[in-house]
Structure 1
């Protein structure tokens, strides 16, 4: 009878050890899977959550994730329906981002690059507000290159070129957000 208790005790310890090893392996696998996720994957998984993106030092943009590309995200303000295009490198912090993610192969990843999205805005001839590392520019996107864009500035928000408007070149690296008006 004493040996039965010893064997039962050993068997219980062995089962406990096996469970602990399985839990540790599962946690390691979960961490390894999480390490493969990009911010774009997490943004695609946001669903209908309202997020606040902190861009640069003073700019905060709030909205629902409308579309995600490899190097950009588009947010739509639920109240005004205003759309903002934000380059991924400009995003400093995200508030409201759920833990779930949606990898690119499981979702509608936009095949368009940031340049293509900006060219589409330029074709629309929309007046845009560009938030840059150097400040705010109002105007129309005139041309989009590989690493920069030209903007015909409209200092007071006019609809056409006026005296005082100038053509400004913005480096893509300095671009924080593009908000069509």
Structure 2
């Protein structure tokens, strides 16, 4: 009888050790998988969650993510029809982001770059508000280059060119957000 209790105790310890080892391996695999996720993957997985993006010290956008491309995201602002395009490097903080993720391989859309999106906005001739690290500018995107874009500024928000409007070149790296007016 005594040997049976010893063997039962050893079997119980062995089973416990196996469970602990499996748990540790599982946690390591989960951490390794999480380490492979990018901010873009997490933003793709946000679904209909309302997020607040902090773009620098004073600029915040709140809304839901519509699309995430190669280096940018499109978001529908809360309570507005406006769509904002945000370069991913401009995002400093995100509030409300769920832990769920969706890697780029799982999306059906082609991974357009920020330049392609800016050229599409330029073709539409939409009046936009560009928020940059140097401040904001309202106007139409006139041309998009590899690392900069030209904007025909509309200082008072008119639809057409007026006295006082000028063509300004904006470095793409300084962009925080582009909002359709």
Q: TM-score range by the shorter chain?
A: over 0.9
Gapped regions of structure 1 (runs ≥ 5): none
TM-score by length of 2: 0.97
Count of paired positions: 181
Q: Contact between 1:67 and 1:110, CA under 8 Å: does it hold in 2?
A: no
Structure 2 counterpart of 1:62:
62
1:131 aligns with 2:131: yes
Task: Please state how far the C-alpha of 1:107 moved relative to its aligned partner.
Answer: 1.8
Q: Contact between 1:69 and 1:111, CA under 8 Å: does it hold in 2?
A: yes
Q: Contact between 1:68 and 1:110, CA under 8 Å: does it hold in 2?
A: no
TM-score by length of 1: 0.97
Q: Partners of 2:132 and 2:99 in 1: how far apart?
A: 30
Structure 1 counterpart of 2:151:
151
Q: Partners of 2:50 and 2:18 in 1: how far apart?
A: 42
Q: Cα deviations across residues 62-85 of structure 1 (Å, max 9, x unaligned)? A: 111101002000000242121000
Gapped regions of structure 2 (runs ≥ 5): none
Structure 2 counterpart of 1:100:
100
Structure 2 counterpart of 1:7:
7
Q: Partners of 1:110 and 1:75 in 2: how far apart?
A: 17
Q: How much is the aligned-residue C-alpha RMSD, in angstroms? A: 0.9
Q: Partners of 2:125 and 2:148 in 1: how far apart?
A: 18
